[in-house]
């Protein structure tokens, strides 16, 4: 394969270079100006397009086993490839929960058979994600899991969390923490604040998130172990993590595109489609998240891709499930916001490709000779208006239908395969 005339993102030298890229047997063999054709089977004309390392989403819900009507490994993987992703980490809140070797092995069989992207499963910290008993996660990691998480549910019991952290430290496993103190959630459905008062619905306070982050950072410090905080959404979360990092505590975190592209003001119009946990917050939270992206407090962008059926999402704010289908629009949402905020493409690649892999202990993918071909080719300058018909995920539940966004994925390439092509 040869990719001609594109601008590739050279992360080592932080340069954008107009070069041709030759790929043989899935490996990048040559990068140079006007490479001669050598009987390549596939010629990609990347004129005016940009070539980025393949994106990695460290937080997706592909719903299999148990909720195949919302998403399957196959449909989730297809949506990922369309979004420019070559790899994802799946969350274990399926039915059954991924908490035993038998269930994990069955999942890995489905992945092998059905996925066009690389899928790394995570497994539950506690059996059934009940928050009561630790799962045998050491054994699960030996049998094909890559991280532990009770995502979707917090681990309220502090002693149990302490045990989990001690164990994960010993085994050197990444833990991905869903920080939510149920005592402050109040059966709420959206952010507690101006909008919840206007609509007269119960709100979820910011405290429910940041108090838990505070609790777990203290334990990470004491045990000198690393923790990763999922989907941060509040101003205080950014501030607490910033301060912890400055003290050398090993905490990393991710933000979802909906938490920096939008705020709670879209809820009255979008209703349950904009219902997500943690909820869309206030404008001042978004402003602090942007500061956290700019100063490196926030390490990664992860989608928390949470597909649900249209029927479920048509319910009212209390009844509808939490979640936004996010993997197809993450890149355009980020490109659009980053342009507005003057954040460069290198930071974007760091947050959407390099850092997620690093946090999980995977090798970051770079575009250089000798590396495997793992890339996404993007039209960075064109805009598109998002339609529901364009979404290939089973979950059409995104509040960004009708939005005009910058950036169109043209090709996603993994080794010798073009796993997505727009036209
Ligand atoms: O909005 C959310 N949806 N937040 C979560 O933590 C879980 C997820 C889901 O599984 O639907
Ligand atoms: Zn999640």
Closest atom of ligand 1 to 275 CA is 1
Tell me if 390 is assigned to some domain. Answer: no
Instruction: Name the token pair of 98.
Output: 């991924």
Question: Hey, which of 93, 131, 150 would you mutate to test ligand 1's pocket, going by the most ligand atoms within 8 Å of its Cβ?
Answer: 93
Distance of CA 306 from the midpoint of ligand 1 (Å): 6
Residues marked as catalytic: 304
Tell me if 294 is assigned to some domain. Answer: yes
Distance of CA 154 from the midpoint of ligand 2 (Å): 11
Distance of CA 59 from the midpoint of ligand 2 (Å): 6
Residue closest via CA to ligand 1's atom 1 equals: 323
Q: How many residues does this entry show for the chain?
A: 423
Distance of CA 58 from the midpoint of ligand 1 (Å): 14
Taking CA 265 as the corner, what is the angle to CA 261 and CA 271, rounded to the nearest 5 degrees?
100
3-state secondary structure the chain: CEEEEEEEEECCCCEEEEEEEEEECCEEEEEECCCCCCCCCCEEECCCCEEEECEEEEEECCCCCCCCCCCCHHHHHHHHHHHCEEEEEECCCCCCCCCCHHHHHHHHHHHHHHCCCEEEEEECCEHHHCCCCECCHHHHHHCCCCEEECCCCCCCCHHHHHHHHHHHHHHCCCEEECCCCHHHCCCCCEECCHHHHHHCCCEECCHHHHHHHHHHHHHHHHHCCCEEECCCCCHHHHHHHHHHHHCCCCEEEEECHHHHHCCHHHHHHHHHHHCCCCCCCCHHHHHHHHHHHHCCCCCEECCCECCCCHHHHCCCCCCCCCCECCCCCHHHHHHHHHHHCCCCHHHHHHHHHHHHHHHCCCCCCCCCCCCECEEEEEEEEEEEECCHHHCCCCCCCCCCCCCEEEEEEEEEEECCEEEEECC
Q: Residue 416 pLDDT > 90, yes or no?
A: no
Tell me if 270 is assigned to some domain. Answer: yes
How confident is the model over 117-165, as pLDDT tens digits? 999 999 999 999 999 999 999 999 999 999 999 999 999 999 999 999 9
Tell me if 41 is assigned to some domain. Answer: no
How confident is the model over 382-408, as pLDDT tens digits? 999 999 999 999 999 999 999 999 999
Closest atom of ligand 1 to 61 CA is 10
The CB of 63 under 6 Å from ligand 1? The reply is: no
Which ligand lies nearest the alpha carbon of 90?
2
Domain count, the chain: 1
Closest atom of ligand 1 to 324 CA is 1
CA–CA distance, 358 with 199 (Å, rounded to integer)? 42
Tell me if 372 is assigned to some domain. Answer: no
pLDDT of 30 reads: 97
The CB of 277 under 6 Å from ligand 1? The reply is: yes
The CB of 323 under 6 Å from ligand 1? The reply is: yes
184 touches 208 (CB < 8 A): yes
Instruction: Name the token pair of 85.
Output: 């992703």
Q: Which of 39-43, 84-88, 199-203, 227-231 has the lowest mean pLDDT?
A: 39-43
Distance of CA 360 from the midpoint of ligand 2 (Å): 16
Q: Residue 84 pLDDT > 90, yes or no?
A: yes
How confident is the model over 284-297, as pLDDT tens digits? 999 999 999 999 99
The CB of 189 under 6 Å from ligand 1? The reply is: no
Residue closest via CA to ligand 1's atom 7 equals: 152
The CB of 322 under 6 Å from ligand 1? The reply is: yes
Residue closest via CA to ligand 1's atom 9 equals: 306
Tell me if 142 is assigned to some domain. Answer: yes
Which ligand lies nearest the alpha carbon of 303?
2
- CB atoms inside a 10 Å sphere around CB 5: 14
Domain of 310: which CATH number? Answer: 3.20.20.140
pLDDT of 238 reads: 99
The CB of 178 under 6 Å from ligand 1? The reply is: yes
- CB atoms inside a 10 Å sphere around CB 36: 9
CA–CA distance, 206 with 76 (Å, rounded to integer)? 30
Tell me if 382 is assigned to some domain. Answer: no
Share of residues in the chain with pLDDT > 90 (%) = 98
Which ligand lies nearest the alpha carbon of 152?
1
Please report, for residues 89, 95, 112, 410, the alpha-carbon distance to residue 68 in angstroms, rounded to integers and kept in the order given: 18, 10, 17, 28
The CB of 90 under 6 Å from ligand 1? The reply is: no
Tell me if 18 is assigned to some domain. Answer: no
Which ligand lies nearest the alpha carbon of 230?
2
pTM for the complete prediction?
0.98
* Domain of residue 165, residue span: 54-365
β-pairing verdict for 27-32 and 15-24: antiparallel
CA–CA distance, 335 with 57 (Å, rounded to integer)? 16
Q: What is the mean pLDDT of residues 241-255?
A: 98
The CB of 276 under 6 Å from ligand 1? The reply is: yes
Give 423's pLDDT tier (boundaries 50, 70, 90). Answer: confident
């Amino acid at each position: 394969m040869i990719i001609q005339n594109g601008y590739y993102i050279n992360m080592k030298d932080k340069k954008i270079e107009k070069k041709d890229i030759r790929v043989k047997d899935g490996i990048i063999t040559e990068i140079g100006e006007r490479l001669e054709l050598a009987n390549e089977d596939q010629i990609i004309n990347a004129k005016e397009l940009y070539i980025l390392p393949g994106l990695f989403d460290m937080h997706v819900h592909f719903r299999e086993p148990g909720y195949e009507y919302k998403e399957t490994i196959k449909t989730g993987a297809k949506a990922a490839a369309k979004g420019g992703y070559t790899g994802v980490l799946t969350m274990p809140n399926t039915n059954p929960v991924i908490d035993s070797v038998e269930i994990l092995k069955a999942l890995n069989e489905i992945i092998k058979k059905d996925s066009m992207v690389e899928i790394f499963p995570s497994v539950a910290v506690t059996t059934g994600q009940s928050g009561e008993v630790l799962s045998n996660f050491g054994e699960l990691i030996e049998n094909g899991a890559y991280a532990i998480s009770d995502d979707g549910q917090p681990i309220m019991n502090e002693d149990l969390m302490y045990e989990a952290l001690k164990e994960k430290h010993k085994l050197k496993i990444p833990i991905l923490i869903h920080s939510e103190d149920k005592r402050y959630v109040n059966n709420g459905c959206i952010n507690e604040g101006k909008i919840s008062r206007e609509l007269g619905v119960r709100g979820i306070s910011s405290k429910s998130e940041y108090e838990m982050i505070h609790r777990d950072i203290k334990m990470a410090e004491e045990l000198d172990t690393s923790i990763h905080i999922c989907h941060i959404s509040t101003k205080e979360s950014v501030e607490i993590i910033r301060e912890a990092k400055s003290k050398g505590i090993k905490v990393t975190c991710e933000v979802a595109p909906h938490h920096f592209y939008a705020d709670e003001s879209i809820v009255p119009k979008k209703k349950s489609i904009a219902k997500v946990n943690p909820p869309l917050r206030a404008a001042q939270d978004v402003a602090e998240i942007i500061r956290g992206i700019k100063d490196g407090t926030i390490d990664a962008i992860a989608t928390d891709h949470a597909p649900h059926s249209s029927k479920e999402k048509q319910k009212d704010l209390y009844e509808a499930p939490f979640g936004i289908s996010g993997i197809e629009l993450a890149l355009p949402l980020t490109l659009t916001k980053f342009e507005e905020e003057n954040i460069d493409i290198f930071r974007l690649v760091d947050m959407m490709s390099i850092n997620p892999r690093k946090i999980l202990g995977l090798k970051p993918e770079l575009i250089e000779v000798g590396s495997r071909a793992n890339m996404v080719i993007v039209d960075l300058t064109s805009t598109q208006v998002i339609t529901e018909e364009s979404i290939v995920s089973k979950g059409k539940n995104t509040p960004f239908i009708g939005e005009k966004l910058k950036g169109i994925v043209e090709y996603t390439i993994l080794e010798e395969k073009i796993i997505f092509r727009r036209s």
